[in-house]
Amino acid sequence: SFSAEVVPQAPEDPMFGLLRAFKADEYPTKVDVSIGAYRDNNAKPWVLPVVKKADEILRNDPNLDHEYAPIAGIASFTSKAAELILGADSPAIKEKRVTSVQTISGTGAVHLGALFLSKFFPGTKKVYVSNPTWANHNQIFSNVAVPVAQYPYFSKQTKGLDFDGMKAALSEAPERSVILLHACAHNPTGVDPTLDQWKEIAAIIKEKNHFPFFDSAYQGFASGDLLKDNAAVRYFVEQGFELVVAQSFAKNFGLYGERAGCFHFVTGPAPDASETATRVASQLAILQRSEISNPPLYGARIVSTVLNDDQLFAEWQENLRTMSSRIIEMRKLLRAKLEELGTPGTWKHITEQIGMFSFTGLTEAQALKIREEAHVYMTKNGRISMAGLNTNNIDYFAKAIDKVVR
């Protein structure tokens, strides 16, 4: 019989462990650059003004109830979510080749995709993820018995993309492997391929018959431009790939805890593609039903309200620019301050990287030391969340970096 005594202790999630330690720290000038959540210039969470408006609209709607959402989620949400990531004029949408399912934020979307592939993917049941990648990718896929392999991604020398290493690994992977790609603002490195590099990557993936699995957690948040941040996904769809996208609205709507996300399956442009999409939808519905039955309402209602209203949509884009430009500003300031201090090393990568994170190049020993000595909390891989920096703490932060690097 089962005895719970055999269950071993698992380690605490490193990210949430760090957050707990930060909260318990009473040092007055402590800095949290660990978790990927936007903060305003006063280091406070920011409720997007457009989200407040949508919330107001929903609260004043006398017809709103708390009934179950459909299994695949709120249709006015999932259809607009597809338009957002694929482009409203996407051939895949026109040809009804897109199946969309509302999920428990981006994590749930990655999981649903992984689960679907573990059941139905006919190729090599192995997913290739970038080295490094968002730590959760590894356990999400291995939990559903899809083995994880890595392709090189980050060059320690240039602190940019290891493009040759990446291409070589994708070429050498067994035919019809699953390739996980970050749509934009790669986590944890902040390093993205250029569009020309994406084209070369796509050519290899096509030649090897690989299956692209896009993870899109930062659309609009990265550059402030929704179309720039989905350019890779749109390019792949234009090339006629069959692919999937896991989409999160946590960062670009500031709806972290509301768990609004979507999973999209785009079937390839075959004459019977639309029927294939219908069959895929029927299987996704069964998986969804057995796992969560119905997705949560609130976050999806907020997003749907904004995406279905031209004026609110324009305001949302304004809010996106507020967040992305503050982060870009912090990148410039941090680099300038480190260069001014003459901190050993080069700091160009801080402004070249994009999105929520910067991979500073600090070693694990330095990341631990800066926590001990300066109460600066970053993950031990040297990743910092740019959103944790502001005009009040950036001097302190730059000096702490300077000290630990010397």
Tell me the catalytic residues. Answer: 134, 215, 251
Give the C-alpha separation, 70 to 77, whole Å.
Answer: 12
CB distance 201 to 166 below 8 Å: yes
Nearest distance, CB of residue 4 and ligand PMP, angstroms? 29
Residue placing its CB nearer to ligand PMP in the complex, 97 or 186: 186
Encoded one letter per residue, x for contact with ligand PMP by CB under 6 A and - for no contact, window 214-233 reads: -x-x----------------
Q: Is 261 in the site for ligand PMP (CB under 6 A)?
A: yes
Cα 264–Cα 268–Cα 274 angle in degrees, nearest 5: 75
Nearest distance, CB of residue 37 and ligand PMP, angstroms? 9
Contact pick of 134, 151, 153, 236 for ligand PMP (by CB under 6 A)? 134
Residue placing its CB nearer to ligand PMP in the complex, 181 or 338: 181
Stretch in the footprint of ligand PMP (CB under 6 A) among 1-9, 102-110, 117-125, 373-381: 102-110
Enumerate the H helices of 27-104 as residue ranges. Answer: 49-59, 75-86, 91-94
Residue placing its CB nearer to ligand PMP in the complex, 105 or 353: 105
Residue placing its CB nearer to ligand PMP in the complex, 253 or 347: 253
Q: Is 187 in the site for ligand PMP (CB under 6 A)?
A: yes
Q: Is 36 in the site for ligand PMP (CB under 6 A)?
A: yes
Residue placing its CB nearer to ligand PMP in the complex, 107 or 393: 107
Give the C-alpha separation, 173 to 170, whole Å.
Answer: 5
Stretch in the footprint of ligand PMP (CB under 6 A) among 103-111, 233-241, 264-272, 340-348: 103-111
Q: Is 106 in the site for ligand PMP (CB under 6 A)?
A: yes
Cα 228–Cα 231–Cα 237 angle in degrees, nearest 5: 155
Q: Is 264 in the site for ligand PMP (CB under 6 A)?
A: no
Contact pick of 34, 100, 105, 124 for ligand PMP (by CB under 6 A)? 105
Nearest distance, CB of residue 36 and ligand PMP, angstroms? 5
Q: What spatial distance separates the first Cα and last Cα of the chain, rounded to whole Å?
A: 58
One-letter identity of residue 210: H
Q: Give the binding-site size for ligand PMP (rule: CB under 6 A).
A: 13
CB distance 74 to 301 below 8 Å: yes
CB distance 208 to 175 below 8 Å: yes
Alpha carbon 147 to its chain centroid, in Å, reads: 21
Checking DSSP bridges between strand 127-131 and strand 178-182, what pairing results, if any? parallel
Residues between 44 and 63 with contacts to ligand PMP, criterion CB under 6 A: none
Q: Which of 210, 199, 188, 192 lies closest to 235 in space, CA to CA?
A: 199
Q: Is 250 in the site for ligand PMP (CB under 6 A)?
A: yes
DSSP symbol at 53: H
Residue with tokens 């000595």: 373
Give the C-alpha separation, 108 to 144, whole Å.
Answer: 13
Nearest distance, CB of residue 277 and ligand PMP, angstroms? 24
CB distance 236 to 243 below 8 Å: yes
Residues that bind ligand PMP (CB under 6 A): 36, 105-107, 134, 182, 187, 215, 217, 248, 250, 256, 261
